[in-house]
Amino acid sequence: MKMRIAVFCSLLAVLTAGLSVGQQKSPVTAIKAGRLIDPETGTAAANQVILVEGERITGVGPNLAIPSGATVIDLSQLTVLPGLVDAHTHMAITYKEQPENNYYYLTYITDSTPLRAIQAASNGMQLLNSGFTVVRDVGNNALYADAALRQAIEQGWLPGPTVIPSGPMIGSTGGQFWPTPEMYKYHNIMFPEYIDANSPDEIVRAVRENMLFGARTIKLCIDCKPWGYSVDDIKLAIREAAMGGCKVEGHVQTADGAQRAIDAGVYIIAHNSALTPEHHRQMAEKGIFLAGTDTPFTPYRGSEAAFKRTAANLRDAWEKKVLLTFSTDFDYWNERMKDPKTGEWLTRGELTINFLETWKAAGIPQADILRAMTINGYKAADIISQRGPIKPGFFADIIAVPGNPLSDIDALRNVQFVMKNGMVFKKDGVMTPEKFFHPGPVKTPNGRWSR
Ligand SMILES: [Zn+2]
């Protein structure tokens, strides 16, 4: 009995100690915002205080008392807003003019999964430096480099955006490849760039496997081949994905494919180039998000004719009131990606923000561009209940810029401050990532299933 009491007492001591640790208050940070934008309403409030405790926002208002001992960050000369979202990109593949002549079959052969994962980590930091705190990374990630990066960032090994990984794109025979019989049949060249799924059973298996290996969204190639998915196939994938809490994005490159994706009710359609005004009308009616991947015409990419079409398509989607997101489909690199003024290489973040050119050419109002880059992005990433709004209870993913993006959207090119999960990543225009690096997991290692 004595023994039992002793055990009970020490157990109690451990529990109490645990409790007091749990009750310990996280450090408080108070951000003084000269101007605070609410992208939902497209309005700004002057001289606001944002209180952040640990990872989350605990208070926002004009006259909040700053608790004694709080760290004060003075952004009174800047405009503060939620972090930005690239709703469709590829951080773990970069095809190049040399050596692979922009042919990504060859990138897949020359760049290993570990190499691509490390590149994705670097791209993630460059994107965070430009204010992108959320990235939907949708396919062409080798063997789940995207899911690994998400997990590494969540565990606290390195800084990066919140990654919404899809794992390999699921498609019918061939995916986006046109392989030889020997490479297809004897060398399984499709995997891991694509998962072939050609029947209801295979679609269910592919969706489940992606979720098992860390996908937080499911990417379907609706029409990469003439034998693409039927409405029933897509609906099956949507149902199965929902079991694991995932929404489905449909890659669409034909008008027929677009109609099947709309009829089945996918959550997001990727690529605007094959969509007609009638598709836009139906998407708006059904509340389907568009990740248009609207490439600008630059010295390093595109043509003027393609750019005009892209801008006109984006304009039509906006006129029809489609739920627009900011998306790039970035997956390439070449020797011309330099700042013409300084001759310096452009970062992945600068290359991404440069997609603003298309939005400006489409004549979309600044407030609507900002909504696409924030609130709609958070909704499309399906994390709006946790991240995005600068309101109590939400994760503190906050950026600041000089000027006012509501009157000059190019202000977003000059991000001076970045906070991710309540930690400062960039201040006074300089990266300060020390607090993000840990040699072991400081969060639950079971990051796959956290939101
Ligand atoms: Zn893509």
355 Cα: distance to centroid of ligand 1 (angstroms): 15
Pairing mode of beta strands 162-165, 169-171:
unpaired
**Which ranges of the chain have pLDDT less than 70?**
1-24, 444-451
- What type of residue is 417? F
272 Cα: distance to centroid of ligand 1 (angstroms): 12
Q: How far apart are CA 189 and CA 181, in angstroms?
A: 10
Name which of 86, 46, 43 is nearest 62 in CA terms.
Answer: 46
Contacts of the segment 313-319: beta carbons below 8 A, 24+ positions apart: 313/272, 313/273, 313/275, 314/272, 314/358, 314/359, 314/362, 314/364, 315/362, 315/363, 315/364, 316/277, 316/280, 317/272, 317/275, 317/280, 317/283, 317/290, 317/292, 318/362, 318/364, 318/368, 319/280
414 Cα: distance to centroid of ligand 1 (angstroms): 26
Sign of CA dihedral 127, 129, 130, 135: positive
30 Cα: distance to centroid of ligand 1 (angstroms): 39
429 Cα: distance to centroid of ligand 1 (angstroms): 30
Helices 231-243 & 255-264 angle (0-180, nearest 10)? 50
337 Cα: distance to centroid of ligand 1 (angstroms): 20
12 Cα: distance to centroid of ligand 1 (angstroms): 54
- What type of residue is 106? L
190 Cα: distance to centroid of ligand 1 (angstroms): 17
Q: Which residues pair with residue 135 across a beta bridge?
A: 86, 163
342 Cα: distance to centroid of ligand 1 (angstroms): 30
210 Cα: distance to centroid of ligand 1 (angstroms): 17
Q: Please give the pLDDT value at position 446.
A: 53
Q: Please give the pLDDT value at position 316.
A: 98
Region of 287 (left: φ > 0; alpha: ψ -120 to 50; beta: rest) is left
156 Cα: distance to centroid of ligand 1 (angstroms): 27
How confident is the model over 324-335, as pLDDT tens digits?
999 999 999 999
53 Cα: distance to centroid of ligand 1 (angstroms): 36
62 Cα: distance to centroid of ligand 1 (angstroms): 42
280 Cα: distance to centroid of ligand 1 (angstroms): 20
449 Cα: distance to centroid of ligand 1 (angstroms): 24
329 Cα: distance to centroid of ligand 1 (angstroms): 4
251 Cα: distance to centroid of ligand 1 (angstroms): 8
How confident is the model over 164-200, as pLDDT tens digits?
999 999 999 999 999 999 999 999 999 999 999 999 9
169 Cα: distance to centroid of ligand 1 (angstroms): 10
255 Cα: distance to centroid of ligand 1 (angstroms): 18
431 Cα: distance to centroid of ligand 1 (angstroms): 28
Sequential DSSP letters for 117-133: HHHHHHHHHHHHHTTEE
271 Cα: distance to centroid of ligand 1 (angstroms): 8
Q: How much of the chain is helix, strand and coil, in % rounded to 5? A: 35, 25, 40
331 Cα: distance to centroid of ligand 1 (angstroms): 8
139 Cα: distance to centroid of ligand 1 (angstroms): 7
Those residues whose beta carbon sits under 5 angstroms from the ion ligand 1 are 329
Q: Which residues pair with residue 301 across a beta bridge?
A: 298
Q: Please give the pLDDT value at position 23.
A: 52
